[in-house]
Amino acid sequence: MDPNLLAELHGDKWRELSMLAKQNTLNPAQTHRFLDLYRDASKDLSRIMTVAPDSVEAARLSAIVHRSRNHLSAVPSGGLSGLSRFFVISLPLSIYRLRWDFLIAAVFFLAVASLAGIWAGMHPEVLETFGDHAFRKQFAEHDFVEYYKENPNGFFAVGVWTNNAWIAVQFVLLGITGVFVVSGLFSNAVNVGFSGAMMFEFDRGSDFFLYILPHGIPEISCIILAAAAGLRLFFAWVVPGPQLRRNKLASLARSLLTVAGGLVIMLFISGLIEGFVTPNPIPPALKIAIGVAYTAAVIAYAWYFGKRAAKAGLSADLDEHQAGYSILATDR
């Protein structure tokens, strides 16, 4: 093709691409436009280089494409830019989009825990499977409370944090199996219900709620959120929609990995509450208020920043040039 004719036909697009490449930031619409123009310009450059590699048009378009490529691969503002994107866009947006999945998983967990506790409380033979009367009495009157006090606060906090963080990460990463998440959530709910039943058997129900609610509200919320993320991944695999299954899974997995990272941070704070607040001899209402306030703060954070990012049409996934383009091949 004649380079002059190509410059006349596509010159406006080349100039637009050059202008966008000079901007420091682009909004979502400009980003998509920039990528489209970059692809077209690259094709035009390839055509010109095959017929007139030494032409003025080749030199001009080569400079524009080179500048655009640098703009694509450049780090906008150093390491802090990625950190800011993680906490302001990727993490809250991913959590916000899981709100209905979280609600369904929470209802399932609470229903199973409540039914398991009521069933065990109404059938003494079920509680006997955990041990004889003396064992259950020791658990209710001493072991349950002493569990939170027998180790130094810092050591205990780190221990429960690593355990809970490992569970949360497993729920997300192994969510594609479906069964692992459902069985794990079910077994945790049953354990909570049966523990409560043993406490109530010896009139220690108040101790049960006093020692489980301060840290349990944020901790269990994080585990349920991890389960919701894992199940979202499972359903994307089973029902990928109009996208190719591998593309759907890859995109969603990259987004949900931010949830796993965020949960590790959130569970660390939950571990501090369990290690330093739960065994602390402060008023019970204050202990519970701390757990509720922390959970409410996380919800408010995810709702505010996540909803704002969703309205702006942003994505928690990597940029297209980082994640790799999805190319559809069709027969002509």
94-103 pLDDT, tens digit per residue, is: 999 999 999 9
- At 80 the pLDDT is 58
At residue 224 the predicted structure's pLDDT band, cuts being 50, 70 and 90, is very high
Nearest one of 322, 319, 173, 311 to 233, comparing CA atoms: 173
**pLDDT given at position 116:** 95
| pLDDT level of residue 72 (50, 70, 90 thresholds) | low
Share of the chain above pLDDT 70, in %: 91
pLDDT tens for 36-61 read 888 888 888 888 888 877 788 888 88
* pLDDT average, residue stretch 191-220: 94
Q: Angle at the Cα of 225 (from 296 to 274), degrees rounded to 5?
A: 60
pLDDT band at 304 (very low <50, low <70, confident <90, very high): very high
In which band, very low, low, confident or very high, does the pLDDT at 255 lie, cut at 50, 70 and 90? confident
Write out the H or E segment, with its range, that includes residue 293.
Answer: helix 284-311
Higher-scoring residue by pLDDT: 130, 274:
274
DSSP calls for 100-124 = HHHHHHHHHHHHHHHHHHHHHHH-H
Distance of alpha carbon 312 from alpha carbon 245, whole angstroms:
26
Rounded to an integer, the average pLDDT of 296-325 is 77
Q: How far apart are CA 120 and CA 126, in angstroms?
A: 6
Task: Please check the confidence at residue 267 and state whether its pLDDT lies above 80.
Answer: yes
pLDDT at position 285, please? 94
Q: Which residue has the higher pLDDT, 155 or 32?
A: 155
Token output for 236: 């994307």
Annotate 196-265 with DSSP letters as a single string: HHHHHHTT-HHHHHHHHHHHHHHHHHHHHHHHHHHHHHHHHHH--TTS-HHHHHHHHHHHHHHHHHHHHH
| pLDDT digits 0-9 by tens, 144-162 | 999 998 889 999 999 999 9
Which DSSP letter does residue 77 get?
Answer: S
| 147 vs 79, higher pLDDT | 147
The pLDDT mean for the chain works out to 86
Q: Is the pLDDT of residue 327 over 70?
A: no
Check: CB of residue 91 under 8 Å from CB of residue 259: yes
- Single-letter amino acid code for the residue at 228: A
Q: Which residues, 6+ apart, have CB-to-CB distance to 51 below 8 Å?
A: 1, 2, 3
> Lowest-pLDDT range, 6-15, 100-109, 134-143, 214-223?
6-15
Of 82-86, 212-216, 262-266, the poorest mean pLDDT is in 82-86
Percent of the chain, pLDDT > 90?
A: 50
The two tokens of residue 61 are 């378009």
Kindly tell me the number of DSSP H helices and DSSP E strands found in the chain: 15, 0
- More confident site: 302 or 324: 302
Q: Using the predicted structure, report yes or no on whether residue 19 has a pLDDT greater than 80.
A: yes
Q: Which pair of structure tokens corresponds to residue 228?
A: 């919701």
Q: Which of 118, 56, 90, 139 shows the shortest CA–CA distance to 252? A: 90
Mean pLDDT for 202-216 is 94
